Amino acid sequence: KYQEWGDITRTIRADYAAGRVNAAQADLVQARPLEYLYDRRQDTLQVNNLATNSGYQPVVSRMRAALHTHLLDVQDVLFMPEYEMARRAEHATPYALRKDAAAYPFPRILDAAVQVGQQDAAEQQLKLLKDEDAVVRYWGAVGLDAGTDAVKPFREQVAAALDDPHPS
């Protein structure tokens, strides 16, 4: 979150707090939605997010399912932090690594990553912090970090998980 220290970010946040920004500018500092869907023909600046519009839910569901299927098909190695990718691919390329289910349990990793930003996922994410796979634990931690208020009741459990030996 190093970007929070930049002059422009501080200026935008100050202008937002003072009410000097429009809705599109406010979107830069407000909580980010989990998904985006734009009608690029009607909304070329991509300002009107249709993902929460009930009329577009069939499109959102179809696109979400297609993405999930594609990710499972390609076994995307970019779900690993760089440190972990380098460690696991020490004796093989990341491309080869992604095909080794024991070395890269991608379905479990994807399931953990998908929980980031989900409402009421804190308890499941806490369980992920105890997973044998470091990348699954990583995504559990990322999810807990993203769910600021939902995590408050679990502070002690989160603090205990900070003693994880894995750098990521």
The pTM assigned to this predicted structure is 0.80
pLDDT digits (tens, 9 = 90+) for 122-131: 889 999 999 9
Rounded-to-integer distance, Cα 46 and Cα 54, Å: 18
pLDDT of 118: 84
CB neighbour class for 19 (10 Å; exposed up to 12, middle 13-18, buried from 19): exposed
Rounded-to-integer distance, Cα 11 and Cα 4, Å: 10
* Count of C-beta atoms within a 10 Å radius of residue 136: 21
Residue 60 has pLDDT above 80, yes or no: yes
Q: What is the pLDDT confidence band of residue 56, given thresholds at 50, 70 and 90?
A: very high
Residue 149 has pLDDT above 90, yes or no: no
